[in-house]
Structure 1
Amino acid sequence: MIYCGVCTLPPEYCEFGGAHKRCKEWLEKNHADMFQKIYPVDGVAAGVSSLSVEKQEEIDRKVQKQVAREEAKAERELAKKLSSKILVKRIERNKRKHIIVVAGLEQIDVEMKKMAKTFASRFATGASVTKSPEGKDEIVIQGDVGEEVEEYLVAYLSKEGLSDIKVELVEDKKRKK
Protein backbone atom coordinates (compact mmCIF):
# COMPACT_ATOMS: atom_id res chain seq x y z
CA MET A 1 0.00 0.00 0.00
CA ILE A 2 1.41 3.37 -0.97
CA TYR A 3 0.64 6.49 1.04
CA CYS A 4 1.21 10.06 -0.09
CA GLY A 5 4.29 11.75 1.35
CA VAL A 6 2.47 15.08 1.60
CA CYS A 7 -1.00 14.39 3.02
CA THR A 8 -0.49 10.75 4.19
CA LEU A 9 -3.65 9.59 2.37
CA PRO A 10 -3.64 6.90 -0.31
CA PRO A 11 -2.90 8.60 -3.66
CA GLU A 12 -6.42 7.87 -4.93
CA TYR A 13 -7.82 10.13 -2.17
CA CYS A 14 -5.31 13.00 -2.36
CA GLU A 15 -7.83 15.17 -4.17
CA PHE A 16 -9.86 15.29 -0.95
CA GLY A 17 -6.88 16.46 1.11
CA GLY A 18 -5.74 20.03 1.52
CA ALA A 19 -2.73 20.04 -0.82
CA HIS A 20 -3.82 18.32 -4.03
CA LYS A 21 -1.29 20.10 -6.25
CA ARG A 22 1.69 19.20 -4.04
CA CYS A 23 0.39 15.63 -3.68
CA LYS A 24 0.15 15.30 -7.45
CA GLU A 25 3.73 16.59 -7.90
CA TRP A 26 5.00 14.19 -5.22
CA LEU A 27 3.25 11.22 -6.83
CA GLU A 28 4.58 12.09 -10.29
CA LYS A 29 8.13 12.36 -8.95
CA ASN A 30 8.13 9.26 -6.69
CA HIS A 31 5.65 6.83 -8.31
CA ALA A 32 5.29 7.65 -12.02
CA ASP A 33 3.49 4.40 -12.85
CA MET A 34 0.76 5.04 -10.26
CA PHE A 35 0.57 8.68 -11.40
CA GLN A 36 -0.21 7.51 -14.97
CA LYS A 37 -2.86 5.13 -13.64
CA ILE A 38 -4.64 7.77 -11.52
CA TYR A 39 -4.20 10.78 -13.84
CA PRO A 40 -4.26 9.43 -17.42
CA VAL A 41 -3.28 12.12 -19.92
CA ASP A 42 -5.32 10.62 -22.79
CA GLY A 43 -8.76 10.81 -21.15
CA VAL A 44 -8.27 14.34 -19.86
CA ALA A 45 -6.95 15.60 -23.20
CA ALA A 46 -9.87 14.06 -25.09
CA GLY A 47 -12.43 15.59 -22.73
CA VAL A 48 -10.80 19.02 -22.74
CA SER A 49 -10.32 19.18 -26.52
CA SER A 50 -14.08 19.14 -27.08
CA LEU A 51 -14.58 22.27 -24.96
CA SER A 52 -14.50 25.75 -26.39
CA VAL A 53 -11.47 27.91 -25.62
CA GLU A 54 -13.45 30.32 -23.41
CA LYS A 55 -15.03 27.51 -21.43
CA GLN A 56 -11.66 25.81 -21.05
CA GLU A 57 -10.03 29.02 -19.75
CA GLU A 58 -12.91 29.56 -17.31
CA ILE A 59 -12.52 26.04 -15.92
CA ASP A 60 -8.74 26.54 -15.60
CA ARG A 61 -9.24 29.80 -13.68
CA LYS A 62 -11.74 28.18 -11.31
CA VAL A 63 -9.41 25.27 -10.63
CA GLN A 64 -6.46 27.62 -10.05
CA LYS A 65 -8.50 29.74 -7.63
CA GLN A 66 -9.61 26.70 -5.66
CA VAL A 67 -6.07 25.33 -5.47
CA ALA A 68 -4.76 28.74 -4.35
CA ARG A 69 -7.46 28.95 -1.66
CA GLU A 70 -6.65 25.47 -0.38
CA GLU A 71 -2.92 26.21 -0.25
CA ALA A 72 -3.50 29.53 1.54
CA LYS A 73 -5.72 27.78 4.08
CA ALA A 74 -3.07 25.14 4.70
CA GLU A 75 -0.41 27.83 5.15
CA ARG A 76 -2.61 29.75 7.62
CA GLU A 77 -3.23 26.60 9.65
CA LEU A 78 0.50 25.82 9.72
CA ALA A 79 1.33 29.39 10.78
CA LYS A 80 -1.31 29.19 13.52
CA LYS A 81 0.19 25.94 14.79
CA LEU A 82 3.71 27.32 14.78
CA SER A 83 2.73 30.55 16.57
CA SER A 84 0.99 28.68 19.37
CA LYS A 85 2.47 27.47 22.61
CA ILE A 86 1.73 24.66 25.01
CA LEU A 87 1.41 25.54 28.68
CA VAL A 88 2.49 23.10 31.38
CA LYS A 89 1.12 24.51 34.65
CA ARG A 90 2.23 23.24 38.05
CA ILE A 91 -0.61 23.86 40.50
CA GLU A 92 -0.29 23.39 44.25
CA ARG A 93 -3.16 21.36 45.71
CA ASN A 94 -2.17 21.02 49.35
CA LYS A 95 1.08 21.91 51.06
CA ARG A 96 3.16 19.25 49.33
CA LYS A 97 0.79 17.88 46.73
CA HIS A 98 0.81 19.15 43.14
CA ILE A 99 -0.96 18.54 39.87
CA ILE A 100 0.24 19.32 36.36
CA VAL A 101 -2.16 20.79 33.80
CA VAL A 102 -1.15 20.59 30.12
CA ALA A 103 -3.12 23.07 27.98
CA GLY A 104 -2.84 23.94 24.29
CA LEU A 105 -2.43 20.44 22.86
CA GLU A 106 -5.55 20.73 20.71
CA GLN A 107 -3.61 22.94 18.29
CA ILE A 108 -1.26 20.13 17.25
CA ASP A 109 -4.03 17.64 16.38
CA VAL A 110 -3.20 15.02 18.98
CA GLU A 111 -5.75 12.68 20.49
CA MET A 112 -6.08 13.92 24.06
CA LYS A 113 -7.12 10.59 25.61
CA LYS A 114 -4.20 8.76 24.04
CA MET A 115 -1.78 11.46 25.19
CA ALA A 116 -3.22 11.31 28.73
CA LYS A 117 -2.76 7.55 28.74
CA THR A 118 0.82 8.00 27.50
CA PHE A 119 1.54 10.45 30.34
CA ALA A 120 -0.04 8.12 32.89
CA SER A 121 2.00 5.12 31.82
CA ARG A 122 5.23 7.05 31.24
CA PHE A 123 5.23 8.88 34.59
CA ALA A 124 3.38 6.22 36.64
CA THR A 125 0.69 8.64 37.78
CA GLY A 126 -2.97 9.29 37.17
CA ALA A 127 -3.85 11.43 34.15
CA SER A 128 -7.18 12.47 32.67
CA VAL A 129 -8.70 14.81 30.12
CA THR A 130 -10.89 17.60 31.51
CA LYS A 131 -12.54 20.74 30.20
CA SER A 132 -11.01 24.08 31.11
CA PRO A 133 -13.17 27.07 32.10
CA GLU A 134 -12.80 28.32 28.49
CA GLY A 135 -14.28 25.05 27.23
CA LYS A 136 -11.05 23.62 25.81
CA ASP A 137 -9.65 20.19 26.62
CA GLU A 138 -6.64 19.93 28.89
CA ILE A 139 -4.77 17.05 30.51
CA VAL A 140 -4.52 16.89 34.31
CA ILE A 141 -1.65 14.80 35.68
CA GLN A 142 -1.34 13.92 39.36
CA GLY A 143 2.06 14.43 40.93
CA ASP A 144 4.96 16.82 40.55
CA VAL A 145 6.27 15.79 37.12
CA GLY A 146 6.26 19.19 35.40
CA GLU A 147 9.87 19.14 34.15
CA GLU A 148 9.54 15.58 32.84
CA VAL A 149 6.32 16.45 30.99
CA GLU A 150 7.99 19.50 29.46
CA GLU A 151 10.98 17.42 28.29
CA TYR A 152 8.69 14.75 26.86
CA LEU A 153 6.60 17.31 24.94
CA VAL A 154 9.68 19.00 23.49
CA ALA A 155 10.99 15.62 22.30
CA TYR A 156 7.56 14.66 20.93
CA LEU A 157 7.17 17.94 19.01
CA SER A 158 10.65 17.72 17.50
CA LYS A 159 9.90 14.13 16.41
CA GLU A 160 6.67 15.31 14.74
CA GLY A 161 8.49 18.16 12.96
CA LEU A 162 6.82 20.91 15.01
CA SER A 163 9.89 22.04 16.95
CA ASP A 164 8.91 25.71 16.48
CA ILE A 165 6.03 25.33 18.95
CA LYS A 166 7.05 26.57 22.38
CA VAL A 167 6.49 24.55 25.54
CA GLU A 168 6.29 26.79 28.61
CA LEU A 169 6.40 25.66 32.24
CA VAL A 170 4.35 27.94 34.54
CA GLU A 171 3.96 27.62 38.30
CA ASP A 172 0.68 28.61 39.96
CA LYS A 173 0.57 28.88 43.72
CA LYS A 174 -2.44 29.27 45.93
CA ARG A 175 -2.64 32.67 47.50
CA LYS A 176 -2.84 32.82 51.26
CA LYS A 177 -5.97 34.42 52.62
Structure 2
Amino acid sequence: MIMDPRNLLYCGICTMPPEYCEFSGTQEKCKEWLQDHHEDVFVDIYGEKELIKGIEQVTVEDEGEGKSDRTFVKDKSAKLEAKLERENKKKMSSRVTIKRVERTKRKRITTIHGLDIFGVDLKKAAKLFANKFACGSSVAKNNQNQDEIVVQGDFSDELIELIITNWPHVPEDNIDYIEEQKKKKAPQ
Protein backbone atom coordinates (compact mmCIF):
# COMPACT_ATOMS: atom_id res chain seq x y z
CA MET A 1 0.00 0.00 0.00
CA ILE A 2 1.57 3.26 -1.15
CA MET A 3 0.76 6.33 0.89
CA ASP A 4 1.21 9.94 -0.14
CA PRO A 5 3.80 11.91 1.83
CA ARG A 6 2.44 14.33 4.40
CA ASN A 7 3.28 17.98 4.43
CA LEU A 8 3.75 19.11 8.02
CA LEU A 9 3.54 22.66 9.26
CA TYR A 10 6.44 23.78 11.45
CA CYS A 11 6.43 26.84 13.69
CA GLY A 12 8.57 29.72 12.48
CA ILE A 13 9.70 30.51 16.04
CA CYS A 14 10.54 27.20 17.75
CA THR A 15 10.67 24.96 14.61
CA MET A 16 8.33 22.37 16.14
CA PRO A 17 4.87 21.42 14.92
CA PRO A 18 2.33 23.93 16.32
CA GLU A 19 0.75 21.29 18.56
CA TYR A 20 4.04 21.06 20.51
CA CYS A 21 4.83 24.78 20.81
CA GLU A 22 3.64 24.73 24.42
CA PHE A 23 6.70 22.65 25.33
CA SER A 24 9.22 25.01 23.73
CA GLY A 25 9.04 27.80 26.31
CA THR A 26 8.14 30.37 23.65
CA GLN A 27 4.43 29.63 23.52
CA GLU A 28 3.27 33.26 23.41
CA LYS A 29 5.53 34.16 20.49
CA CYS A 30 4.55 30.92 18.76
CA LYS A 31 0.85 31.75 19.19
CA GLU A 32 1.37 35.20 17.70
CA TRP A 33 3.29 33.75 14.73
CA LEU A 34 0.67 31.06 14.13
CA GLN A 35 -2.15 33.59 14.34
CA ASP A 36 -0.41 35.89 11.85
CA HIS A 37 0.64 33.23 9.34
CA HIS A 38 -1.86 30.34 9.66
CA GLU A 39 -5.06 31.59 11.32
CA ASP A 40 -7.05 28.46 10.40
CA VAL A 41 -4.57 26.19 12.21
CA PHE A 42 -4.54 28.64 15.14
CA VAL A 43 -8.32 28.33 15.48
CA ASP A 44 -8.10 24.52 15.25
CA ILE A 45 -5.52 24.28 18.03
CA TYR A 46 -6.40 27.10 20.42
CA GLY A 47 -10.04 27.61 19.56
CA GLU A 48 -11.91 30.80 18.91
CA LYS A 49 -11.62 31.95 22.54
CA GLU A 50 -7.92 32.63 22.07
CA LEU A 51 -8.60 34.44 18.80
CA ILE A 52 -11.17 36.70 20.49
CA LYS A 53 -8.83 37.20 23.47
CA GLY A 54 -6.03 38.20 21.09
CA ILE A 55 -8.27 40.70 19.32
CA GLU A 56 -9.36 42.18 22.68
CA GLN A 57 -5.72 42.56 23.77
CA VAL A 58 -4.88 44.45 20.59
CA THR A 59 -7.83 46.84 21.09
CA VAL A 60 -6.93 47.40 24.76
CA GLU A 61 -3.33 48.19 23.81
CA ASP A 62 -4.50 50.59 21.11
CA GLU A 63 -6.62 52.48 23.64
CA GLY A 64 -3.51 53.40 25.59
CA GLU A 65 -3.52 51.22 28.68
CA GLY A 66 -0.32 49.86 27.24
CA LYS A 67 2.50 48.03 28.87
CA SER A 68 1.05 47.47 32.33
CA ASP A 69 -1.32 44.85 30.87
CA ARG A 70 1.44 43.18 28.89
CA THR A 71 3.68 42.19 31.80
CA PHE A 72 2.66 38.55 31.61
CA VAL A 73 6.02 37.33 30.33
CA LYS A 74 8.18 35.97 33.10
CA ASP A 75 11.93 36.43 33.32
CA LYS A 76 12.66 32.72 32.90
CA SER A 77 10.59 32.39 29.77
CA ALA A 78 12.21 35.52 28.33
CA LYS A 79 15.66 34.05 28.95
CA LEU A 80 14.59 30.76 27.40
CA GLU A 81 13.17 32.57 24.37
CA ALA A 82 16.42 34.49 23.94
CA LYS A 83 18.42 31.27 24.20
CA LEU A 84 16.23 29.52 21.62
CA GLU A 85 16.49 32.54 19.34
CA ARG A 86 20.31 32.49 19.57
CA GLU A 87 20.34 28.74 18.82
CA ASN A 88 18.01 29.27 15.87
CA LYS A 89 20.29 32.03 14.50
CA LYS A 90 23.29 29.73 14.96
CA LYS A 91 21.48 26.98 13.05
CA MET A 92 20.55 29.28 10.20
CA SER A 93 24.13 30.56 9.90
CA SER A 94 25.63 27.04 10.04
CA ARG A 95 26.71 25.27 6.88
CA VAL A 96 26.45 21.66 5.74
CA THR A 97 29.56 20.80 3.74
CA ILE A 98 29.57 17.98 1.21
CA LYS A 99 33.10 17.30 0.04
CA ARG A 100 34.24 14.88 -2.65
CA VAL A 101 37.76 13.66 -1.93
CA GLU A 102 39.82 11.85 -4.55
CA ARG A 103 41.73 8.84 -3.29
CA THR A 104 44.03 6.60 -5.31
CA LYS A 105 43.41 6.28 -9.05
CA ARG A 106 39.65 6.52 -9.64
CA LYS A 107 38.54 5.94 -6.07
CA ARG A 108 36.59 8.69 -4.34
CA ILE A 109 34.83 9.25 -1.04
CA THR A 110 32.22 11.82 -0.09
CA THR A 111 32.21 13.43 3.34
CA ILE A 112 29.26 15.26 4.89
CA HIS A 113 29.94 17.64 7.75
CA GLY A 114 27.51 19.85 9.72
CA LEU A 115 24.30 17.80 9.70
CA ASP A 116 24.47 17.30 13.46
CA ILE A 117 23.97 21.04 14.03
CA PHE A 118 20.50 20.74 12.48
CA GLY A 119 19.55 17.90 14.84
CA VAL A 120 20.15 15.02 12.42
CA ASP A 121 21.23 11.72 14.00
CA LEU A 122 24.48 11.00 12.14
CA LYS A 123 24.40 7.22 12.65
CA LYS A 124 20.89 6.96 11.22
CA ALA A 125 21.85 9.24 8.32
CA ALA A 126 24.95 7.13 7.59
CA LYS A 127 22.83 3.99 7.57
CA LEU A 128 20.30 5.65 5.25
CA PHE A 129 23.08 6.66 2.84
CA ALA A 130 24.60 3.16 2.93
CA ASN A 131 21.24 1.55 2.17
CA LYS A 132 20.31 4.07 -0.51
CA PHE A 133 23.60 3.93 -2.44
CA ALA A 134 24.58 0.30 -1.61
CA CYS A 135 28.01 1.31 -0.34
CA GLY A 136 29.94 1.69 2.89
CA SER A 137 29.06 4.65 5.07
CA SER A 138 30.11 5.51 8.61
CA VAL A 139 30.50 8.29 11.15
CA ALA A 140 34.12 9.31 11.75
CA LYS A 141 36.05 12.15 13.38
CA ASN A 142 37.73 14.65 11.07
CA ASN A 143 40.98 16.58 11.66
CA GLN A 144 39.18 19.13 13.86
CA ASN A 145 37.85 16.26 16.02
CA GLN A 146 34.27 16.83 14.81
CA ASP A 147 31.91 14.11 13.62
CA GLU A 148 31.30 13.72 9.91
CA ILE A 149 29.74 11.07 7.67
CA VAL A 150 32.06 9.29 5.23
CA VAL A 151 30.40 7.65 2.21
CA GLN A 152 32.50 5.41 -0.05
CA GLY A 153 31.93 6.59 -3.60
CA ASP A 154 31.03 9.77 -5.49
CA PHE A 155 27.39 10.52 -4.56
CA SER A 156 27.62 14.27 -4.01
CA ASP A 157 24.73 15.28 -6.30
CA GLU A 158 22.40 12.57 -5.02
CA LEU A 159 23.33 13.37 -1.41
CA ILE A 160 22.17 16.97 -1.73
CA GLU A 161 18.76 15.86 -3.01
CA LEU A 162 18.50 13.12 -0.36
CA ILE A 163 19.31 15.54 2.47
CA ILE A 164 16.71 18.03 1.25
CA THR A 165 13.97 15.38 0.94
CA ASN A 166 14.65 13.57 4.24
CA TRP A 167 15.42 16.60 6.41
CA PRO A 168 13.36 19.57 5.17
CA HIS A 169 14.44 21.72 8.13
CA VAL A 170 17.97 21.86 6.63
CA PRO A 171 17.88 24.89 4.30
CA GLU A 172 19.11 24.21 0.76
CA ASP A 173 21.01 27.51 0.78
CA ASN A 174 23.12 26.27 3.70
CA ILE A 175 24.48 23.25 1.79
CA ASP A 176 27.92 23.76 0.24
CA TYR A 177 29.63 21.44 -2.25
CA ILE A 178 33.44 21.25 -2.35
CA GLU A 179 35.51 19.15 -4.74
CA GLU A 180 38.97 18.29 -3.45
CA GLN A 181 41.48 16.77 -5.84
CA LYS A 182 44.91 15.34 -5.23
CA LYS A 183 47.80 17.45 -6.40
CA LYS A 184 49.47 15.93 -9.43
CA LYS A 185 53.21 15.55 -9.40
CA ALA A 186 55.18 17.49 -11.96
CA PRO A 187 56.96 15.34 -14.56
CA GLN A 188 60.69 15.05 -14.04
Q: 1:106 to 1:172 in 2, by over 3 A?
A: farther
C-alpha separation in 1, matches of 2:102 and 2:151: 12
- What are the superposed Cα offsets for residues 119-140 of structure 1, whole Å, 9 maximum, x if unpaired? 1111111100111121211000
What is the one-letter code of the residue matched to 1:31?
I
Q: TM-score, normalised by structure 1?
A: 0.65
Aligned residue in 2 for 1:142: 152
Count matched residues.
150
Aligned residue in 1 for 2:26: 19
| 1:90 maps onto 2:90 in alignment | no
C-alpha separation in 2, matches of 1:19 and 1:61: 13
Aligned residue in 2 for 1:151: 161
Aligned residue in 1 for 2:132: 122
Residue 162 of structure 2: SS of its match in structure 1?
A: helix
| 1:30 maps onto 2:39 in alignment | no
- What are the superposed Cα offsets for residues 120-172 of structure 1, whole Å, 9 maximum, x if unpaired? 11111110011112121100000122222123224445x33634423323324
Structure 1, unpaired ranges of 5+: 37-56
C-alpha separation in 2, matches of 1:146 and 1:74: 32
Residue 145 of structure 2: SS of its match in structure 1?
A: coil
Report the RMSD for the aligned CA atoms in angstroms.
3.5
What is the one-letter code of the residue matched to 1:145?
F
Aligned residue in 2 for 1:168: 177
C-alpha separation in 1, matches of 2:178 and 2:185: 22
C-alpha separation in 1, matches of 2:76 and 2:173: 29
Matches within 5 A, 1:103-118: 103-118=113-128
